[in-house]
Amino acid sequence: MGADDRAEGNVYQFKGVPLTAAIARSLILELFQGQLVERQIIDDEILRAPSKSAGEAVRKALLEMKKDGLVENVSLGHWRIVQGQISEEQPLAQIDVPQSHAEEMSAPADSPVIDLDIGAGVGAVYLYYLPTYRLHAESRGDSSWPCKIGRTDRDPVNRVLSQAATALPEKPHIALVVRTSQPLAWESALHGVLTLRGLRMENSPGAEWFLTSPQDVLDLVKQFDQGLANACFPPGP
């Protein structure tokens, strides 16, 4: 999935809140801005407990966004989300959410630890994986396992936490964060090289999963930016 995400900041602090067209609209812009994406992928990312009413909220949001010029229905089941329109939308924090969900919307106290956080900029590209994937690979003597490489224009920890809260079976391990003012360019470069190497996982629930490792991706990062040539992961088990 175009990663993919895909949620920024507080994007899925709406877990458990009835999905409305207004919330769906903001989520679509947050998750898929600048991407051409299938409607099914939009549903899969946003609807964690699918229902007829929730699906209707997404449909209504897309139709309203089309009228406003925020999306294009380029072909049957495929939508292009216009780049750079988030700032014109109602901030997520201002969308009314029932008070009963206030506890659900607070950030977890046990936020993930980042193995290596490098670079500078308001955005970031990040790599995380599920610990089970790594353990399974290492038990077979493999040096690579499924890793997700995504981007965010805001805080990468909140981005990952939003996915963990809605889609992941276990707490993700954030191995690498590269902070940059050009997260889209970095994500495209990393995705492109890994795809050309045949490492994209075609059967994954999105387009951001690759059969690789944090070290291999860090090596690519250092090739792209010589200023990060001395970056290395801390010693670990």
pLDDT value at position 90? 41
Same domain, 27 and 127: no
**Type of residue at 96:** D
Residue 150, in any domain of the structure: yes
CB atoms within 10 A of CB 191: 21
- At residue 106 the predicted structure's pLDDT band, cuts being 50, 70 and 90, is very low
CA atoms of 221 and 202, how far apart (whole Å): 23
Structural domain count of the chain:
2
Beta carbons of 202 and 164 less than 8 angstroms apart: no
pLDDT of residue 96 exceeding 50: no
Q: What is the dihedral of CA 51, 57, 58, 64, to 10 degrees?
A: 170
Residue 214, in any domain of the structure: yes
pLDDT of residue 138 exceeding 80: yes
- Among 43, 71, 86, where does a domain finish? 86
Residue 198, in any domain of the structure: yes
- Among 69, 86, 103, where does a domain finish? 86
CATH code for position 71: 1.10.10
Residue 237, in any domain of the structure: no
Start-end of H helices in the chain:
21-32, 39-46, 52-67, 131-139, 156-166, 183-196, 214-224
Residue 101, in any domain of the structure: no
Same domain, 51 and 142: no
CA atoms of 14 and 26, how far apart (whole Å): 11
CB atoms within 10 A of CB 96: 9
Average pLDDT on 21-39 reads 76
pLDDT value at position 113? 78
Beta carbons of 156 and 176 less than 8 angstroms apart: no
Print burial letters for 56-93: b (CB count within 10 Å at least 16), e (below 16).
Answer: ebbeebbeebeeeebbeeeeeeebbbbeebbeebeebe
The lowest-confidence range among 4-8, 56-60, 179-183, 193-197 is 4-8
pLDDT value at position 168? 59
Tens digits of residue pLDDT in 172-219: 888 999 999 999 999 999 999 999 999 998 766 567 889 999 999 999
Whether the full predicted model's pTM is greater than 0.75, yes or no, is no
Closest to 15 (Cα-Cα) out of 47, 61, 52: 47
Residue 71, in any domain of the structure: yes
Same domain, 47 and 120: no
Q: What residue numbers bound the domain in which 36 lies? A: 3-86
Residue 106, in any domain of the structure: no
pLDDT of residue 156 exceeding 60: yes
- At residue 76 the predicted structure's pLDDT band, cuts being 50, 70 and 90, is confident
Same domain, 179 and 73: no
Residue 22, in any domain of the structure: yes
Helix or strand (DSSP H, E) at 36: strand 36-38
CA atoms of 116 and 22, how far apart (whole Å): 36
Give the C-alpha distances (Å, rounded to integers) separating 80 from 19, 60, 114, 220: 22, 16, 32, 29
pLDDT value at position 53? 54
- Among 38, 71, 86, where does a domain finish? 86
Closest to 154 (Cα-Cα) out of 177, 171, 129: 177
Helix 21-32 vs helix 52-67: angle between axes, to the nearest 10 degrees? Answer: 70
